[in-house]
Structure 1
Amino acid sequence: MTEHRSGPVRSAAAREAILSATARLLVDEGWDRLTIEGIARAAGVGKQTIYRWWASKGALVAECLLDGRFFAVEPAVGDTGELLRDLRDWLTPVLHFLNTTTGRSLLHSLVAAATEEAGVGAHLSDAFGADRLLADRLRAAVATGELPPGTPVDQLGHAVFGALIFEVLSKDEIDVPAFLDLVGFLLGPRPAAGEPETPGSPAEPA
């Protein structure tokens, strides 16, 4: 009985050591320097143990994303009944995290990993809440009339996340107020047909 139970316990411990080592090494060293050999050494396991469960380092990174091992931000999008306020509350800590050295380096590494491993890209936006959580909040806004019927909520979530990635990859620092203004322009209320546009940024707090 004891021997029968020891296998799964050892496997769980090895899995945890491997994923922890992968997450730590990706943050510390980046995607280009991440190797199966280095992960195995840091985790205290043989390479064959890793390859028994994962086909590549990209598959390991994808599972780390799925496990929520990278981001020290809360991905939940609240629902106070005010869409833009909720989006500002959700995005502000994400943007500030991505303005840190760790955050920028990590996202660069994850984007590089996504070019080689489809699973990384599949889980990357969801790690920030940009897929299911943001789309759910946008659907709620459609249901309450804050957004018009037929709003492409999934595509809008991807657009916000795509703009966020572009900001990180193309600039030294994200201009947080300007990015929030962009989100306000994309998702803020629109005047009815024939009504004039209201001057000012829709993303500014009340």
Structure 2
Amino acid sequence: MPKQSAPDKRPPDTARRSEKSRRAIYDAALALVAEVGYPRTTIEGIAARAGVGKQTIYRWWSSKADVLMEAFFDLSAQAAQDAGQQPYTIPDTGDLAADLKAVLRATVDELKDPRFEAPSRALAAEGLVDEELGRRFVTKLLEPSLQLYVDRLRAAQDAGQVRPEIDPRIALELFVSPLAQRWLQHTGPISYEYTDTLVDYALHGLAPR
């Protein structure tokens, strides 16, 4: 009679289980805020949708805002990975216009990504009426990206491609702010052609050369 092998008594892989739960929570939070809006999204709702206990969520995050912020970071990183890009980077090829156009084209792709668009609009809209949430949205999600533009423009100043007296923090608004406004308010389509034109107008101005 063949000898039976001993049962596998290895402990469960808690790291894998935790990652699976974390991913389910991200997906549930983003789906809920898109479907019902930020005010009606709750920790209990996220937990039920993700198939976890709410104590699991509170073990990792202190509020639904924290869950959503982290879910957005993860979503942006995933979108960049799918596109073969490094998240939160602006290239420095020595050609400022080409570099800005490249990163804004990637931003267009992200803004038009169905995974990103609905929850992002819901969170951005709520940030306009909830001052605390709005500050956290800007601080945690927008400001790190804006700083990358500042750094790239300063490098261009060092290379003599941008006048030294220009304030990079103001200059970046010439192409970032119009895109954000058009996307949020549906004032027109967003496309590569549109963002390329923003860069050309910002770098070369409107006066005859």
In the alignment, structure 1 segments of 5+ residues that lack a partner are 191-195, 199-206
Corresponding position: 1:90 with 2:103: yes
RMSD over equivalenced CA pairs, Å:
3.4
Corresponding position: 1:34 with 2:51: no
In the alignment, structure 2 segments of 5+ residues that lack a partner are 1-9
Other-structure match for 2:56: 49
Other-structure match for 2:208: 197
Corresponding position: 1:109 with 2:122: yes
Alpha-carbon shift at residue 149 of structure 1 (Å): 0.9
Cα distance between partner residues in 2 of 1:152 and 1:175:
26
Cα distance between partner residues in 2 of 1:99 and 1:112:
17
Other-structure match for 2:146: 131
What's the TM-score once normalised by structure 2's chain length?
Answer: 0.70
Corresponding position: 1:63 with 2:63: no
Cα distance between partner residues in 2 of 1:7 and 1:89:
40
Corresponding position: 1:121 with 2:121: no
Deviations 1:36-90 (A, max 9, x none): 2221012222223323443321121112234455762444322221111111111
Larger CA Rg, structure 1 vs 2? 2
Cα distance between partner residues in 2 of 1:148 and 1:106:
39
Cα distance between partner residues in 2 of 1:32 and 1:172:
26
Check the 8 A contact 1:111/1:121 in 2, yes or no: no
What's the TM-score once normalised by structure 1's chain length?
Answer: 0.71
Corresponding position: 1:150 with 2:165: yes
Identity %: 30
Aligned residues: 189
Alpha-carbon shift at residue 16 of structure 1 (Å): 4.1
Residues 1:168 and 1:67: Cα distance change in structure 2 (over 3 Å): same
Describe how 1:159-170 pairs up with structure 2 within 5 A.
160-170=175-185
Secondary structure at 1:131 match in 2: helix
Give the alignment partner of residue 182 of structure 1, picking from 195, 198, 207.
198
Alpha-carbon shift at residue 12 of structure 1 (Å): 5.5
